[in-house]
């Protein structure tokens, strides 16, 4: 009990953001970062019109499955063959208006496009190999 009180006091006294790595959940052990663009309808429409390869990541910061998807997305994104894939992130909680037209009903949804054509989607999938295959479907 005393140890918990001391730990709470240390966290409260630390500068904002200090010690986050020490209290991060186990699923955040991989530090891979996804380079994403916040989803806006005009940006998405323009990317589709240009025929770009697109991955949409419907993400919620509180979702452990979403967090476990990130290393797989980052690994696929780092492959030379995927350097031109644009990853749009939709915030599940605040961007409900853009989810309906895409047929999204849950967080942790990944949708792949080649231009205007949807090439696949995954729901709640965290297997990096399956995520890589979804990204590869945009070629």
Q: What is the pLDDT of residue 45?
A: 97
Q: What length is written for the chain?
A: 139
Q: What is the mean pLDDT of residues 106-111?
A: 97
The pLDDT of residue 32 is: 64
Average pLDDT, the chain: 82
The predicted-structure confidence for 19-71, as pLDDT tens digits, reads as follows 323 323 333 334 568 889 999 999 999 999 999 999 999 999 999 999 999 99
pLDDT, residue 84, reads 93
Q: Which domains does the chain have, with CATH numbers?
A: 25-136 (3.40.30.10)
Report percent pLDDT > 70 for the chain: 77
pTM for this prediction = 0.76
Ranges of H-type helices in 1-139: 2-13, 20-23, 41-49, 64-78, 96-102, 128-136
DSSP string covering 7-46: HHHHHHHSPTTTTHHHH--GGG-S------EE--HHHHHH
Distance CA 84, CA 54 (A): 9
**Lowest-confidence segment of 5-14, 41-50, 93-102 by average pLDDT:** 5-14
């Amino acid at each position: 009990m005393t140890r918990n009180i001391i730990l709470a006091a240390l966290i409260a006294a630390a500068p904002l953001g200090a010690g986050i790595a020490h209290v991060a959940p186990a699923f955040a052990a991989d530090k891979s970062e996804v380079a994403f663009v916040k989803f806006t309808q005009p940006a998405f429409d323009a990317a589709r019109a240009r025929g770009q390869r697109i991955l949409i990541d419907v993400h919620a910061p509180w979702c452990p499955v979403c967090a476990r998807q990130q290393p797989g997305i980052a690994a696929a994104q780092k492959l030379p063959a995927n350097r031109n894939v644009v990853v749009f992130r939709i915030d599940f909680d605040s961007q409900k208006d853009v989810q309906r037209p895409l047929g999204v009903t849950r967080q942790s949804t990944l949708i792949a496009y080649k231009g205007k054509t949807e090439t696949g989607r995954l729901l709640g999938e965290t297997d990096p190999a399956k995520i890589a295959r979804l990204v590869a479907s945009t070629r």
